[in-house]
């Protein structure tokens, strides 16, 4: 696609809009930092002192060792001992425990033969907590080389999942995910609002009687916001590493390049919205509906995609945050290289390009056929 | 670059035949026909809701007609809107420049939309009749400048690319008489340069400035001709009396 003078004119104008509104600019940079701070700390506090009930059928030296290890960590606290399995439900109902650790009879002997297994039964009524508890318990077992099996009580069935987070710090895991969620929301809102504002003020009509082409309007508007969102992501990233000491094991350059791709895909959601939305309010609402819940719930941020029902799993493919989550967690926590991230990157490019092409097509139809109100 | 003589259509810049536009059941423009000669100032007169804006938006390719035909410089408004956009200028009824941009940034942006370079825009602005005012305010945000100047700025933006036909939708609404007179001086200057000007207005005194007029009422053209011939035909001393006579007469007819 050629870079025309018209495209440059639109880009330049959009840049001016952005810098002319310093109050919004400050908000755009501040909001993600505040979100990371709030959610990052809230979730970190949550996971301390998980209340564990103990059902020890073995009463051996090894089982006492296990319990000592457990209490030695900051993350678990033994808040009661049970005698029978039938007491577990009652304990959950009364909220005395978040999880119950079952040590079977003969554990010590089996442990000597390397077949000793313990079981953790987790209260699944708060699935978030349950997920966190499972992660922590698994990490704990790995650390102390205890074999375990995990079960979750009704009403929710959850499957265990191992987070790549050996330090038992959930903030490390949560914060990169938060960045993904926040970026997607900001990007969609910014673009959808800037286009809707032009419908509102009537300037869109003034532009449409000029020879400017739909793709020039859209790409001209995207470019400045791509840059803006990239700066936001850099600031948020730096803040997260500084405050939460989130490790950064991979390549910063790779993360930045892939962030551009992710921002591109997220901005395209806003463009799509603006083909419909004629007021800023509608645009804001639509972008919140389309990004907030999906990026939280259907991206793997809170619930692992792997264990979602098939239908939901299929929907996650339409949520850009899903791909970026793999990218940012991979690069920051695991130091993954470009080879492993080619697939999510490619899918993000496809996603963005498809939405933008579709939106340009829609704008053309608006110009050629469909009359609009106002 | 001077506008060519009305090609293809015998000296007419705009030709409209049986043009209609409905919104749902409501017919905003009802089978109107008229012609605008090359280089003339054509006034469109009508009360609120008469269908003036709807007509202009069809001619600019912003909405499609429900039926009928319209040609602008020989180009079909239904099929060749993209070509039409290159040769027309449009000033919408609602002020629609960017208020947070400065005067010169607005000029540059709209010039840029027509592919004009920075130097071309600067030259064009220098040549324009409002050069002095625009110069004085060039660094100011557009929201801060007086309304009269805003409208002259909008006009300058709309003619940056030397359009053949200029559509002005109530360009002088809400400004003081002096600013209106200044504005009309600009319109005359453009017309004498060969630009066809299609202008809607509520002000009857402005109608007298036009070469020819069409009076629109409830989506139909009630009368058309030069101001003089219209006054003669309806035996009135001014366009205002003629207008009230026309619209009033139809009203009584409706009541029957
Ligand atoms: N997009 C639309 N949808 C529905 N009705 C519309 C639309 N646009 C215009 N109308 C109606 O069509 C009629 C003619 O409107 P139009 O704007 O053309 O009038 P006008 O002559 O320009 O009036 P004014 O002097 O107030 O600007 C009005 O009754 C208006 O409500
Ligand atoms: Mg109007």
Q: What is the C-alpha separation between B134 and B140, in angstroms, rounded?
A: 10
User: What confidence score (pLDDT) does residue A126 get?
Assistant: 62
The chain-wide mean pLDDT, for chain B, equals 88
Q: What is the C-alpha separation between A146 and A142, in angstroms, rounded?
A: 7
Taken as a whole, chain A contains a residue count of 374
Tokens at A250, concatenated: 């991979």
User: B224 alpha carbon to ligand 1 midpoint, in Å?
Assistant: 21
Tell which of A210, A215, A371, A373 to mutate to test the B interface (max B CBs under 10 Å): A210
In contact, B213 and B227? CB cutoff 8 Å: yes
User: What confidence score (pLDDT) does residue A25 get?
Assistant: 93
Q: Which value does ipTM take for this structure?
A: 0.86
pLDDT tens for B10-43 read: 789 999 999 999 998 999 999 999 999 999 999 9
Tokens at A291, concatenated: 């990004």
β-strands B196-201, B41-46 pairing: parallel
Is the backbone of residue B152 left (phi > 0), alpha (psi -120 to 50) or beta? alpha
Tell which of B88, B109, B142 to mutate to test the A interface (max A CBs under 10 Å): B109
User: What confidence score (pLDDT) does residue A291 get?
Assistant: 93
User: A368 alpha carbon to ligand 1 midpoint, in Å?
Assistant: 20
pLDDT: is A156 or A328 the higher one?
A328
In contact, B83 and B118? CB cutoff 8 Å: no
Question: A197 touching B, CB under 8 A?
Answer: no
Taking the alpha carbons at both ends of chain A, their separation in whole angstroms is: 32
Q: What is the C-alpha separation between A172 and A132, in angstroms, rounded?
A: 13
User: What confidence score (pLDDT) does residue A156 get?
Assistant: 31
The answer on pLDDT for A158 being more than 60 is no
pLDDT tens for A10-68 read: 999 999 999 999 999 999 999 999 988 888 776 654 566 788 999 999 998 888 888 88
Q: What is the C-alpha separation between A219 and A247, in angstroms, rounded?
A: 35
Q: What is the C-alpha separation between A199 and A212, in angstroms, rounded?
A: 16
Q: What is the C-alpha separation between A305 and B4, in angstroms, rounded?
A: 65
β-strands B67-72, B75-76 pairing: antiparallel
Taken as a whole, chain B contains a residue count of 256
How much is the CA Rg of chain A, to the nearest whole Å? Answer: 25
User: What confidence score (pLDDT) does residue B155 get?
Assistant: 94
Q: What is the pTM of this model?
A: 0.78
User: What confidence score (pLDDT) does residue A43 get?
Assistant: 62
pLDDT band at A88 (very low <50, low <70, confident <90, very high): confident
Which residues are bridge partners to B21 per DSSP? B29
Question: A155 touching B, CB under 8 A?
Answer: no
User: A295 alpha carbon to ligand 1 midpoint, in Å?
Assistant: 42
The answer on pLDDT for A264 being more than 90 is yes
pLDDT tens for B108-139 read: 999 999 999 989 999 988 888 777 788 899 99
The answer on pLDDT for B2 being more than 60 is no
CATH superfamily of A51-151: abc type-2 transporter like domain (3.40.1710.10)
Q: Span A217-231, mean pLDDT?
A: 95
The answer on pLDDT for A117 being more than 50 is yes
Q: Does domain B37-62+90-255 have CATH number 3.40.47.10?
A: no
* Nearest protein CA to atom 24 of ligand 1, as residue: B48
Q: What is the C-alpha separation between B154 and B162, in angstroms, rounded?
A: 14
* Nearest protein CA to atom 11 of ligand 1, as residue: B28
């Amino acid at each position: 696609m050629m870079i025309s003078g018209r495209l440059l004119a639109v880009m330049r104008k959009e840049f001016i809009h952005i810098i002319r509104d310093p109050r919004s600019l400050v908000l755009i940079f501040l909001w993600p930092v505040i979100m990371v701070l709030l959610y990052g700390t809230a979730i970190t506090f949550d996971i301390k002192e998980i209340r564990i009930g103990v059902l020890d059928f073995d009463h051996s030296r090894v089982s006492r060792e296990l319990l000592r290890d457990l209490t030695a960590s900051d993350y678990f606290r033994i808040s009661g001992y049970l005698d029978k399995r039938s007491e577990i439900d009652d304990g959950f109902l009364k909220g005395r425990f978040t999880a119950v650790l079952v040590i079977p009879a003969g554990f010590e002997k089996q442990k000597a033969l390397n077949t000793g297994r313990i079981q953790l039964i987790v209260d699944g009524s708060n699935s978030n907590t349950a997920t966190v508890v499972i992660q922590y318990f698994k990490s704990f077992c790995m650390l102390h080389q205890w074999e375990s099996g995990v079960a979750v009580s009704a009403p929710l069935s959850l499957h265990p999942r191992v987070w790549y987070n050996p330090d038992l710090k959930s903030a490390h895991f949560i914060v990169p995910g938060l960045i993904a969620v926040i970026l997607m929301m900001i990007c969609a809102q910014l673009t959808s609002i800037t286009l809707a504002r032009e419908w509102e003020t009537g300037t869109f009509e003034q532009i449409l009687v000029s020879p400017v082409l739909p793709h020039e309007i859209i790409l001209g508007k995207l470019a400045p916001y791509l840059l803006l969102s990239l700066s936001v992501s850099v600031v948020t990233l730096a803040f997260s590493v500084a405050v939460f000491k989130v490790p950064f094991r991979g390549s910063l350059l790779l993360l930045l390049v892939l962030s551009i791709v992710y921002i591109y895909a997220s901005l395209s959601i806003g463009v799509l919205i603006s083909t419909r939305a004629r007021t800023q309010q509608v645009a804001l609402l639509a972008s919140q509906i389309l990004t907030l819940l999906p990026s939280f719930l259907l991206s793997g941020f809170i619930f692992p995609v792997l264990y979602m029902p098939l239908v939901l799993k299929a929907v996650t493919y339409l949520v850009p945050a899903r791909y970026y989550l793999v990218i940012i967690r991979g690069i920051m926590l695991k130091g993954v290289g470009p080879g492993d991230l080619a697939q999510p990157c490619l899918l993000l490019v496809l996603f963005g390009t498809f939405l933008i092409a579709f939106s340009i097509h829609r704008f053309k139809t608006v110009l050629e056929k469909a009359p609009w109100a106002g | 670059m001077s506008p060519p003589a009305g090609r293809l259509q015998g000296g007419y810049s705009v030709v409209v035949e049986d043009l209609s536009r409905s919104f749902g059941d409501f017919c905003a423009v009802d089978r109107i026909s008229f012609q605008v000669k090359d280089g003339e100032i054509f006034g469109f007169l009508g009360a609120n809701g008469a269908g003036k804006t709807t007509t202009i938006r069809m001619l600019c390719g912003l909405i499609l007609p429900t039926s009928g035909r319209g040609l602008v410089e020989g180009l079909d408004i239904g099929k060749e809107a993209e070509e039409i956009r290159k040769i027309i200028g449009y000033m919408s009824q609602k002020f629609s420049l960017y208020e947070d941009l400065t005067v010169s940034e607005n000029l540059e942006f709209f010039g840029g939309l027509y592919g004009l370079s920075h130097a071309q825009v600067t030259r064009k602005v220098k040549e324009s009749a409002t050069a002095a005012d625009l110069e004085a305010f060039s660094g100011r945000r557009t929201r801060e400048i007086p309304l009269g100047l805003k409208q002259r700025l909008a006009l300058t933006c709309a003619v940056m690319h030397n359009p053949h036909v200029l559509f002005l939708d109530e360009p002088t609404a809400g400004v003081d008489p002096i600013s209106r007179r200044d504005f009309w001086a600009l319109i005359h200057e453009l017309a004498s340069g060969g630009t066809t000007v299609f202008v809607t207005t509520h002000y009857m005194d402005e109608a007298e400035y036009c070469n020819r007029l069409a009076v629109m009422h409830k989506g139909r053209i009630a009368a058309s001709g030069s101001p003089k011939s219209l006054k003669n035909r309806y035996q009135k001393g001014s366009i205002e009396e003629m207008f009230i006579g026309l619209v009033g007469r139809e009203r009584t007819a409706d009541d029957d």
